[in-house]
Amino acid sequence: MTARTKVAVLISGRGSNMEALVRAAYAADCPFEVSLVLANRPDAGGLATAAEAGIEALCVDQKPFGKDREAHERAIDAALRARGVQVIALAGYMRILTPFLVDAWQGRMLNIHPSLLPKFPGLDTHARALAAGEAEAGCTVHLVTAGVDEGPVLGQARVPILPGDDEHALSQRVLEQEHRLYAATLADFVRTLD
Ligand code: GRF
């Protein structure tokens, strides 16, 4: 059996997308394994979930680095390389990256965003989609480049916006698709790597 691609999932919060990737990797024919879950804050709920699943859960706390985001990223990068990580999957990682990490992992770092990019990059995507009177919403998996939520799109999933939808209802409908889309797109992506 060929070795599976080692993926690190970077989180800041509950980590439901991370869990979806972990679950997908249980399948015998999944081409990736989640070898590390890394958070930038100790209170990220997903750290405990990962540890319970038997995955190394590491916090590289941003706090001691203060405003020096690059120094924080250098510590993250060292932790990833020490473990032989090959691909990064950002999953609710709520810190804007500096060019250091983006360049170091160019072509090997993915992100999931809860909108149909290029529509609604940034925060509060569901509220903005509702306010704009959109007929549909969705999510996007893309490669990470210097511009926030701007990299090449690898996959998208669409959901309808229904009468009476509020932010919560819409976010739940999109989240279900995020979990499916991220696992499938990441698998397709790692199959294209050498
Ligand atoms: C998801 O909606 C993801 O698209 C966005 O942040 C949220 C993270 O949720 N980038 P979770 O931590 O994966 O549950």
Quick check: 37 and 56 in contact, CB under 8 A?
Answer: yes
Q: How far apart are CA 108 and CA 5, in angstroms?
A: 11
Q: What letter represents residue 69's amino acid? A: R
The single residue of 72, 113, 126, 142 carrying the catalytic annotation is 113
Three-class secondary structure of residue 119 per DSSP:
coil
CA torsion 147-149-152-158 (nearest 10°) is: -160
Beta strand 87-90 pairing with 153-160: unpaired
- For 34-89, how does the pLDDT look when each residue is reduced to its tens digit (9 = 90+)? 999 999 999 999 999 999 999 999 999 999 999 999 999 999 999 999 999 999 99
User: Using an 8 Å Cβ cutoff, are 73 and 98 in contact?
Assistant: yes
Q: How far apart are the CA of 139 and the centre of ligand 1, in A?
A: 10
Distance, in Å, from the CA atom of 50 to the CA atom of 37, rounded to the nearest integer, reads 7
Give per-residue pLDDT as tens, 140-181. 999 999 998 999 999 999 999 999 999 999 999 999 999 999
Residue 112 Cα to ligand 1 midpoint, Å, equals: 7
Do the Cβ atoms of 36 and 77 come closer than 8 Å?
no
Q: How far is the CA of 39 from the centre of ligand 1 (A)?
A: 13
Say yes or no: CB of residue 112 within 6 Å of ligand 1.
yes
**Confidence tier at 1 by pLDDT (50, 70, 90):** low
**Cβ–Cβ < 8 Å for 36, 56:** yes
- At 103-137, the pLDDT tens digits run 999 999 999 999 999 999 999 999 999 999 999 99
Give the tens place of pLDDT for each residue, 89-103: 999 999 999 999 999
Pocket test for ligand 1, best of 178, 180, 182, 185 (most atoms within 8 A of CB): 178
